[in-house]
Amino acid sequence: MKSKTLLAAAGLAALAASAQAEVKVGMITTLSGGGASLGIDTRDGFMLAIEQAGRDDVEVIIEDDQRKPDVAVQLADKMIQSDKVDLLTGIVWSNLAMAVVPAATAQGLFYLSTNAAPAQLAGKGCNPKYFSVSYQNDNLHEAAGAYTKSTGYAKPFILAPNYPAGHDSLNGFKRFYDGELAGEIYTELGQTDYAAEIAQIRASGADSVFFFLPGGMGISFLKQYAESGVDLPLVGPAFSFDQGILQAVGEAALGVKNTSQWSKDIDNEANAAFVAGFEEKYDRLPSLYAAQGYDTANLLLSALDKADIADADAFRAALAEADFASVRGDFSFAANQHPVQDIYVREVIKEGEIFTNKIVGTALEDRANAYVEDCSM
């Protein structure tokens, strides 16, 4: 579990043993326990970009946070003090990010987020050394709200787990959907049986259901929902429909609409190279988390080409330019250093034997986030 991976990228360069790595990146992510598939995809996407670029001047130190905030904090301290990393990245979960990011940026390190982007770090707590390359947490939920409204659903039932990201989710949804709700419930985090909630949905007279239940929670909910005979259309953020879990959900997910800023069928050169490269190297389709890891690495490399990481102001300016070919197409940073990007609506389809997503529309164009005004940068 405490495996330590030292990876000097690029095969050929590894032969030149004397080649000294110029930049040290510390990646703290979840590689064991229930949420491991997310961290593994993040890591694999990130390392694929470094490998494809053939860079020998970037050393990535990867450690497993076991999805525990205290472990993440210890790892960050170790990486900062004894490994002397120049930059941190990789955290999947918002509660871990809140434990690590403010302390790391206060010690002068850059942090590039591959996933977690809680509201606290986007508004008053924004920091010149903190960039989110993924999204702001509320974004996909906002898009689901906008989609629900534009489709003409008039009485959605909404549910999310009872923890900070769950509250952000329903608030984000309601920011763009201002109509009547059939019901609004918070479930327990990690809950596996949704029979009681499904019975409430059945009794509520709803015309659609919005749900945010990442990982295993979503698998359970979707399977039980399909069995229940409740036949209302489902809408959700991409997290319950990711490549890693769709196969476990199976038929129950077919046709469900979900919102995402990335999909494997976004038509651009960078995305094609990413999807093909990922499939070839790891023998599976990439997920949203892999795409975010890949973009984060490419952003980092683009900034390294322009500025020395020791010169913080120049390096920050280079990052802010976002001068890299994102797999998402158009990509730039808002004033609070969170992405401005399109957010799509996808539908779950079956391609041969594999369940996957295809884009069916755009929910929000050039969406920044709701916290830009609160950030004083």
Binding site for other proteins (CB under 8 A): 1, 32-34, 36-37, 40, 162, 184-186, 188, 190, 192-193, 195-196, 199-200, 202-203, 215-217, 219-220, 223-224, 227-229, 244-245, 247-252
Q: Indicate the residue among 128 and 282 with the shorter CB distance to other proteins.
A: 282
Instruction: Identify how many contiguous H helices and E strands the chain contains and give both numbers.
Output: 12, 14
What gap in Å lies between CA 71 and CA 77, rounded to an integer? 10
CA distances to 41, 169, 233, 306, 315 from 52, in Å:
16, 35, 41, 19, 22
What gap in Å lies between CA 218 and CA 209, rounded to an integer? 13
Total number of residues shown for the chain? 377
| Of 77, 114, 79, residue with least CA distance to 99 | 77
What gap in Å lies between CA 34 and CA 218, rounded to an integer? 13
Q: In sequence order, what are the residues at sequence separation of 6 or more whose Cβ sits closer than 8 angstroms to the Cβ of residue 267?
A: none
What gap in Å lies between CA 125 and CA 336, rounded to an integer? 10
CA distances to 243, 278, 290 from 285, in Å:
7, 7, 9
What gap in Å lies between CA 341 and CA 355, rounded to an integer? 26
- Do the bridges between strand 5-8 and strand 58-64 make them parallel or antiparallel, or are there none, so unpaired? antiparallel
Q: Indicate the residue among 86 and 242 with the shorter CB distance to other proteins.
A: 242
Give min distance, CB of 250 to other proteins, in A. 5
- Is 100 buried (19+), middle (13-18) or exposed (0-12) by CB count in 10 A? buried
Tokens describing residue 178: 């201002």
DSSP 8-state secondary structure symbol assigned to residue 221: H
Please, are residues 340 and 367 in contact by the beta-carbon 8 Å criterion? yes
Give min distance, CB of 265 to other proteins, in A. 21
- Please compute, for residue 126, the number of CA atoms within 13 A of its CA located in the half-sphere on the CB side: 21
